[in-house]
Amino acid sequence: MVLVNLASAELAGLANPAQGVLHEALKPNERETLDDCHLRFYSFGSGGAVASAAGRPAYLREFAHIGAIGWSQPDGTVRWSCGGSLIWENFILTAAHCAANLNNEPPDVVRFGDLNLYNATDDEFAQQYKIAEILRHPEHRFSAKYHDIALIKLEQRVTLNETVAPACFWSEEELRFDVLETAGWGATSFGQFQTPTLLKVSLKPVERDRCDQFYRVGDRGLREGLQDYQLCAGDVKMDTCPGDSGGPLQVKLLHNAKVTPFVVAVTSFGSACGQSTPGVYTKVSKYAPWIRSVIAAHETDAEEWKFEPYACALRYVQLREYEPDVVSRKSEGHESLSFDGVHITIEDSLSTVKIGWEDAKPKAPDNCYGVLIDEDTVLTLAECTSYDGQPATHVIVLDDIWKEIVRLYTHPSYRSGSLYNNIAIVKLKEPIFFTSRYFAPACPWFYPELPDPEFEVTGRGRNDLNTVPLYDEQVMFSR
């Protein structure tokens, strides 16, 4: 943990054996305060291991889920006027107004894995499919800008690889991301032509009060003003433009050393693009039940649980790109990886204990943990001290040592089901004997000022979301 490392660094001078003996002599036998944790358990400092590096084939996969939606022309060309996101192997999420062009003609083709739509030099990984059906939200009307969301079913499933793979979608109402990302083949500024190359921009969510200044009640298509299922986002210099419609407003979430794109909203409309005016996007969370039900009605294997974030991320993890901090260098044909920068590593968290119930029922929680802060003291969540009226009975240390709980102290202001004051202290019947600095309690930080701007989080959870391949293979690297 960062706090432990900080204390260890400050006490590095104690590595001298004589100083260590002196500290032992000065420590009281009966512990009177938790403030001596760093002296009592970490008096000899700590060292770190150096991570390994590996090579990994690089592919065109940053936007493997984005497809260009097109209208075939009589001369054999295709006019690409909308975008969409692959969220199932044969379903695309897009804007409902992309279901027809100005001539009331529906699109008939979707293209993936192609950064430049009008240049054949990067077509090696391109996949193009005919559209079988367009399913607009039942409440959408072309005369209004509400419920602007639709699903496009392809005639067949895509071929999954690193350049073409579905994204996940964000189904929670709460949006806790400061910066979002979008991409498309839209115009680069007001009055300009569409870009032939896929471009990406970073946008920030805009507060509703500010957005209402640009889009007022009674505006064309907004008779009732903006609704709660519409999200505003923008930037001083960047925006989405015509041609970007239907494309994703997304965030990439980290799992192990890879990232998965989660579609937060669908590009709907805006005023003059590139003029520092926020654009309006249709939030996916509001329509998550409808999206799942439509796909399930067409696909027998589209069970609801498969749309859960963990399930979706796991399903395509082998196709995902590595997080930027792991990629040390890109060259022709290769991506070099350095796991010094990885955010999540598999390590033994020896101060972590599991909280259990001796007569556990089948539905008793299996995800309650705590952290040792003393020989007989565990810090945990108040919600983890009781289940169905039955108090926790024991903790499990080092996976196989059971220690009986003798007393539970929940915060006096905690209320069941609340996220406030959710903290508790667990006292063990017998103390745990720490045999080395590798097995020691964590030291609590009792001061109002935080010691560091960044912190580590340790815990038990899934470790099967991806593996780290250690091999080298020459492939074509598309840029």
Instruction: Show the CA angle centred on residue 372, arms to residues 366 and 374, nearest 5°.
Output: 150
Radius of gyration for the alpha carbons in the chain, expressed in angstroms and rounded? 27
Angstrom distance (rounded) from CA 283 to CA 280: 9
Which element (helix H / strand E) includes 419? none
| Ordered DSSP codes for 274-320 | TSSPPEEEEESGGGHHHHHHHHHHH-TT--GGGGSHHHHHHHTGGGS
CA 108 to chain centre: 33
Q: Is 97 a catalytic residue?
A: yes
> What phi and psi values does residue 154 have, to the nearest 5 degrees?
-85, 160
Phi-psi region of 218 (alpha: psi -120 to 50; beta: other; left: phi over 0): left
Which element (helix H / strand E) includes 344? none
96: Cβ–Cβ under 8 A, 6 or more apart, which residues? 136, 137, 140, 147, 148, 149, 150
Annotated catalytic residue within 97, 137, 147, 394? 97
Tokens of 20: 């260590």
Measured in residues, the chain has a length of 479
The residues pairing with 354 across neighbouring beta strands, listed in sequence order, are 369, 396
Q: Measured between alpha carbons, how far is residue 469 from residues 53, 56, 63, 327, 477 in Å?
A: 10, 7, 22, 14, 18
Which residue reads 């340790």 in tokens? 458
Annotated catalytic residue within 81, 85, 245, 268? 245
Q: Is 245 a catalytic residue?
A: yes
> What phi and psi values does residue 40 have, to the nearest 5 degrees?
-75, -35
Annotated catalytic residue within 65, 140, 148, 255? 148
The catalytic residue positions are 97, 148, 245
